[in-house]
């Protein structure tokens, strides 16, 4: 079975006794695997390029998982899988992930359960990231928190009153598609206009920089660096990025009244260059009590830690 109830999982070996789980993260450019213990420590972490072909890609993912398990030396109790949507988290099926066009109707949780002979769970990677940061990372100890990952795209997840939110089929929490300008830039991810993702993703930052007159092929990291060095064009693009992010985060903070907004993903590696102006603008604009805006704690393993967290969480749900 793709997913099992808590009783069955306990019979399988018991996640409740703190046995580590395997986290698998399926991204558009890379896949990652690692064994995560009950304190959030990662063992046997490894990555590999994604595969456009789903059968080959799933086999590679499981192979990476087997390597992680072997390297960790642990017997894992369950498997958590994080991937971009749309997906069906209850059935454990990837329906048509936007970032993996060749992957359609892949029953990945069932395949993982069969390959590893352990219960397996699938969730949206944004939801998984939220669960991971809430259980192990920068959102630990909060009742309500929001997680956003800002990299090639912008994903997100929400934990309210200690409960990971999924929506009807597991595709809720698409915080990257919160509108910050309804007449704004076209959004590649969803086809609407003016989404947060259309301004703040690494892809969009680079695109806006080229439109502003910077050289072709520039990356978001280059833009950040040029802005730090005082380049005027880059500074304008970077300021707009921070303003758009603050606008979106203010709406999100007003909506959920979280204690913390945890930001992960490559763009957030710029640290205070992004966080300081965003914190100031959100504090100035928002309605409710102050929200703490912090960088994710899980670093490069954020997807794997998140995938593991959903395995822990769903066994106890």
The residue ranges that bind Zn ion (CB under 5 A) are: 177, 187, 189-190, 195
Which lies closer to Zn ion via its Cβ, residue 54 or residue 241?
241
Measured from the Cβ of residue 98, the count of other Cβ atoms closer than 10 Å reads 13
Output Rg (C-alpha) for the chain, integer angstroms. Answer: 19
Question: Rounded CA gap, 283 and 292, in Å?
Answer: 9
Which lies closer to Zn ion via its Cβ, residue 87 or residue 308?
87
Cross-strand bridge partners of residue 179: 195
> Whole-number minimum distance, CB 244 to Zn ion, in Å?
13
SS (H, E, C) 118-185: CCEEEEEHHHHHHHHHHHCCCCCCCCCEEEEEECCCEEEEEEECCEECCCCCCCCCCHHHCECCCCCC
Dihedral (C-alpha) 251, 255, 258, 263: value to the nearest 10 degrees?
-40
Nearest to 194 by CA among 121, 261, 140, 247: 247
> Whole-number minimum distance, CB 151 to Zn ion, in Å?
15
Cross-strand bridge partners of residue 186: 193
> Whole-number minimum distance, CB 249 to Zn ion, in Å?
16
> Whole-number minimum distance, CB 195 to Zn ion, in Å?
3
> Whole-number minimum distance, CB 85 to Zn ion, in Å?
13
DSSP 85: S
Question: Rounded CA gap, 272 and 90, in Å?
Answer: 38
> Whole-number minimum distance, CB 187 to Zn ion, in Å?
3
> Whole-number minimum distance, CB 161 to Zn ion, in Å?
27
Cα 162 to Cα 5, 90, 116, 135, 145: the distances in Å are 20, 20, 30, 10, 9
**241 touches 199 (CB < 8 A):** yes
Which lies closer to Zn ion via its Cβ, residue 118 or residue 177?
177
Nearest to 204 by CA among 239, 152, 147: 152
Strand spans (E) along 172-295: 260-264, 292-295
> Whole-number minimum distance, CB 186 to Zn ion, in Å?
9
Which lies closer to Zn ion via its Cβ, residue 158 or residue 195?
195
Which lies closer to Zn ion via its Cβ, residue 184 or residue 221?
184
Which lies closer to Zn ion via its Cβ, residue 179 or residue 273?
179
Instruction: Retrieve residue 142's tokens.
Output: 């909060």
Which lies closer to Zn ion via its Cβ, residue 109 or residue 195?
195
> Whole-number minimum distance, CB 237 to Zn ion, in Å?
20
Helix (H, G, I), strand (E, B) or coil at 155: strand
């Amino acid at each position: 079975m793709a997913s099992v109830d808590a009783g069955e999982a306990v019979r399988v070996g018991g996640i409740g006794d703190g046995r580590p789980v395997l986290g698998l993260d399926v991204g558009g450019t890379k896949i990652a695997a690692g064994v995560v213990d009950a304190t959030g420590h990662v063992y046997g972490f490894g990555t590999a390029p994604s595969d456009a072909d789903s059968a080959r890609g799933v086999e590679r993912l499981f192979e990476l998982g087997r390597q992680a398990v072997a390297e960790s030396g642990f017997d894992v109790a369950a498997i958590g899988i994080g991937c971009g949507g749309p997906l069906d988290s209850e059935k454990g099926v990837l329906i048509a992930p936007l970032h993996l066009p060749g992957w359609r109707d892949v029953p990945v949780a069932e395949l993982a359960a069969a390959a590893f002979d352990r219960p397996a769970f699938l969730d949206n990677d944004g939801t998984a990231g939220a669960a991971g940061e809430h259980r192990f990372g920068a959102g630990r100890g909060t009742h309500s928190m929001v997680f956003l990952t800002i990299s090639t795209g912008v994903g997100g997840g929400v934990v309210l009153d200690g409960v990971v939110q999924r929506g009807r089929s597991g595709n809720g929490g698409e915080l990257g598609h919160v509108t910050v300008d309804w007449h704004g830039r076209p959004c590649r991810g969803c086809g609407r206009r003016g989404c947060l993702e259309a301004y703040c993703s690494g892809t969009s930052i680079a695109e806006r920089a080229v439109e502003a007159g910077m050289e072709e092929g520039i990356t978001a990291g280059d833009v950040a660096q040029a802005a730090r060095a005082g380049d005027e064009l880059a500074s304008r693009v970077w300021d707009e990025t921070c303003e758009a992010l603050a606008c979106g985060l203010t709406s999100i903070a007003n909506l959920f009244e979280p204690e913390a907004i945890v930001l992960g993903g490559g763009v957030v590696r710029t640290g205070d260059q992004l966080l300081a102006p965003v914190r100031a603008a959100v504090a100035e604009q928002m309605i409710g009590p102050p929200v703490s805006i912090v960088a994710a704690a899980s670093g490069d393993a954020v997807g794997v830690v998140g995938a593991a967290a959903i395995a822990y969480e769903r066994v106890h749900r």
